[in-house]
Chain A
Amino acid sequence: MITLDSVRFHWPAQSEPVISIDSFSVERGERVFLKGPSGSGKTTLLSLITAIVSPQQGTIAVDGKLLNTLRGSQRDQFRVDHMGLVFQQFNLLPFLSIHDNVTLPCRFSKRRTLRATDSGNTLKTEADRLLNAMQLSASELNNRPVSDLSVGQQQRVAVARALIGKPPLIIADEPTSALDTDTRDAFIDLLFKEASSANCTLLFVSHDAGLATRFDRSVDLAAINTVSASSPVQGGTT
C-alpha cells in the first residue's frame, strides 16, 4: 500500500535533511503503528506520504501509484480519492452540520461518492450508517452544531468522514492525544472495526507507545529515519 524507497527530504529553506529513509513499506490491509518522539519527523513523513511535499531523492508509491509522477492538482485528487485523514483535533468545520462534515470528501471526490453509494445507499444513509457504527446516534446528534460535541465525539465524526467512500488508506495523525484513556481505547476499537470492515489499510501515528501492542506492526520512526537521531530538531515538524 505504501512503499518508500531511498527517500531523502529536506525543507526548502534548510540544507539538513529531516527524512532519510532507505526502505519502509506498509502492506495492504495492514494496521501499522508509527511511533516517534516529537521532532522525529512524523509529520514530515506524513506530508511525504500524502503528497503534500515531494522528496528530493527517492520514490514513494501509494496504492501502486508513484507520487512523483503526479502534478499538483492530480496529487490533491489522488489524496482525496485514496486517503482518509484524521488529525489530532479540530477536524470538523464548525459551520457545517455533522452530516455535511462526514460527506465533505464526497464533494471533492467522485470516486468516493460512487464507492459510498455503490451499495445502493444514498450519501445521507451511508453517513448515518458510519455515524451509527461510530456509536454516534444520528437521530440524536444530527441537529446539533458540531461545536456541541465532545472532543471524543468530534474525533469519531472525523473517523466516519475518513471512512466514507472507503478510501484504501486511512492515515491518523495523533488522533487520540486529545482524548482520555477510556475514550481513547473505545475510539481505537471503533477505528479498527470499521477500518477492517471497509478493508482499509491503517497508518496510525502517535508518540504514545502504550497503544503499539494493539497493532499488527509497530514501527519506530527513529529506527528507520537515519537522520532524526543525530540531527537537531528541524522546522516543520511537530
Chain B
Amino acid sequence: MISIAWRSICNRWATALLAVLAIAMSVALILTVEKTRRDARNSFTQTVSGTDLIIGARSGSVQLLLYSVFRIGSATNNVSWESVEAIQKRSAIKWTIPISLGDSHRGYRVLGTTLDYFTHYRYGDKQPLSLTAGDVFDDVFDAVIGSEVARELGYQVGDNIVVAHGTGDVALVEHDKQPFRVSGVLAPTGTPVDQAIHVSLTGIEAMHIDWRNGAPVKGASTPADAIRAMDLQPTAVTALLVGLKSRATVFREQRAINTYREEPLLAILPGVALQELWRLVRVAELALMIVSVCVVLAGLVNLMSVLLAGLSERRREMAVLRSTGARPAHIFLLLCIESLVLTLAGIVAGLVLHYVLTGIGAIIIRQQFGLSIALTAPHTNDLKILLAITAAGFIAGTLPALQAYRKSLADGLSQRL
C-alpha cells in the first residue's frame, strides 16, 4: 500500500510538491516563532543570573530592567553617589555593581562600572565573566571591551578608542580629548555584555571633565596626566546591581530601598520584572502564535483540497485498484497514507527551512539586540507541535479518504468518467 501511495504521489508530483511546500512553510514559521519566543526568554533570563536586586531612579520596573541590563531605552534619572554609598553600607548586602550608561563608541554602549563588575556579575548558569585577552581596567583610561565589539570593530588590546557622548550610532560630539586604551577583551557570553565597552566610573567622569551642561567647553583641554591626578569621585550612576548575603532578605531590602527617604529609588527583583515583561509581550506572542497556527491550518486545508481535487481525476485509478482486489478500506488507507506522507515531507522540509531561517535570523538578532539564538535540536515543545501537525495532517487526510471510500463503494468497478 505504501509503495502504491508513494508512486501515486510521485505521479502527481507538482500538486504534491505545492502541498508539501505549503506545509513546510507553515511548519517553519511556527517553529521559528516558537524558538524565537523561547530563546528570547532564555536569553533575557540568562543575562541576569545571580543578581538579587536592581536599583535605579524611580520609574517603571520593566523600564529599569530594560535599560540597566539589556541596554534597551535609557534612564530617566540617576542614582546619586550618596545613595549608592548608603546602600553599600547596608548589612544585608554582599556586593554592588554600579552601572553608568550614557556614552557610546561607534554604536556600542560605554558602561562605567567598578572592578566588582568582573568579580560579581553572573550570566547564564551563574557563570562569571572571563577575559580572552589583556586584563581588567587599571587606569582611568583603560577599557575592557565585549567580544562582539572586539570582533566587529577589530580591536585588540592596546588599541585606542574615542568615546562619544550620547548613545546613537553616529555621535556628533566626541570625547576625543581623552582617548581610551583597550586593556582587555571579554569572552563571548551571548548577552549584551558582548556589546559593551566597560570603563571605570572614574573614566566616565574623566571624559566629561572639560564639559559643562552636556557640551564641551571651548578651548578647554585638560591633559590626561592632570586628569589622573584629580579626585574623580562620581556624582551619580545609572543603576546598581546588588547581590545579597541571603536571598531571604530580598523583600526586606527591596522595601527598604523603595522607601528610602533621601532620594526616590526603585529596587526590583529581576525575575519578577521579567515576568512583568513577559506579561507585556504575551499579547504579541499570542498574536504571533495564533497567526502561525492559522498558517498551519491553511497548509492543512490546502493539503485537504489537493487530495479532494485529486479524487475526481483519480476515480479511474480507484476503479482499477478496486477491480484488482483493493477493498474500499484499502482505498481509505491509501488516501490516509498519502496525506501522512505529504505531511511528513512537509514537516521535514519545514524543519530544514526553519534551521535556515534561524541561522539567518540569529545573525540579525545578535547584531540588533545582542541576544544569542543557537541552532539546537528541536525542543520537546517543538516535537509536540510537530506531532500535533502530523496528527492534524492525518485527520485532514481522512475526509478525502472517506470521500474516496464512499465513491469507490458507489462506483464499484465501473469506469465511469
Residues of A within 8 A of B (CB): 43, 47, 50, 52-53, 73, 76-77, 79-80, 85, 87-96, 104-105, 107-109, 161, 238
Contact = CB atoms under 8 A, between A and B. Distances in A.
Nearest to A161: B324
A95 B324 contact: no
A93 B325 CA distance: 13
Nearest to B317: A93
A96 B326 contact: no
Contacts of B329: 73
A93 B327 contact: no
Interface string B301-335: 00000000000000011001101111111100000
Interface stretch (B2-10, B46-54, B150-158): B2-10
Q: Which of B324, B329, B412, B414 has the most CB of A within 10 A?
A: B324
Contacts of B321: 93, 104
Interface in B1-31: 1, 4, 7-8, 10-11
Interface of B: 1, 4, 7-8, 10-11, 316-317, 320-321, 323-330, 412-415
A200 to B, nearest CB: 16
B414 A105 contact: no
Given A91-B320, A105-B325, 12 more contacts: A43-B414, A52-B412, A52-B413, A79-B325, A85-B324, A92-B320, A93-B317, A94-B317, A105-B324, A107-B324, A107-B325, A238-B414
Nearest to A145: B11
Contact of A94 (B4, B11, B327): B11
Nearest to B327: A76
B324 A104 contact: yes
A92 B321 CA distance: 9
B320 A93 contact: yes
Contact of A87 (B1, B4, B7, B415): B415
Judged by DSSP, the binding face of B is helix
A47 B412 CA distance: 8
Contacts of B413: 47, 50, 52, 85, 87
B326 to A, nearest CB: 6
Contacts of B326: 76, 108
Given A85-B413, A90-B415, A96-B7, A76 B325 contact: yes
Nearest to A47: B412
A87 B325 CA distance: 14
Contacts of B11: 94-95
A35 to B, nearest CB: 19
A161 B323 CA distance: 11
Contacts of B320: 90-93
A52 B10 CA distance: 31
A73 B328 CA distance: 9
Contacts of A92: 320
Contacts of B1: 107
Contact of A108 (B316, B317, B325, B328): B325
A95 B415 contact: no
A85 B7 contact: no
B132 to A, nearest CB: 60
Q: Which of B4, B316, B325, B327 has the most CB of A within 10 A?
A: B325
A87 B412 CA distance: 13
Nearest to B330: A108
B328 to A, nearest CB: 8
Given A50-B413, A52-B413, A96 B325 contact: no
A77 B324 CA distance: 10
5 contacts: A76-B326, A80-B325, A87-B323, A95-B8, A96-B4
A238 B416 CA distance: 9
A238 B417 CA distance: 12
A14 to B, nearest CB: 15
B14 to A, nearest CB: 14
7 shortest interchain CB distances as A-B pairs? A80-B325, A108-B325, A95-B11, A52-B412, A76-B327, A104-B324, A95-B7
A16 to B, nearest CB: 20
Contacts of A108: 324-327, 330
Nearest to A164: B324
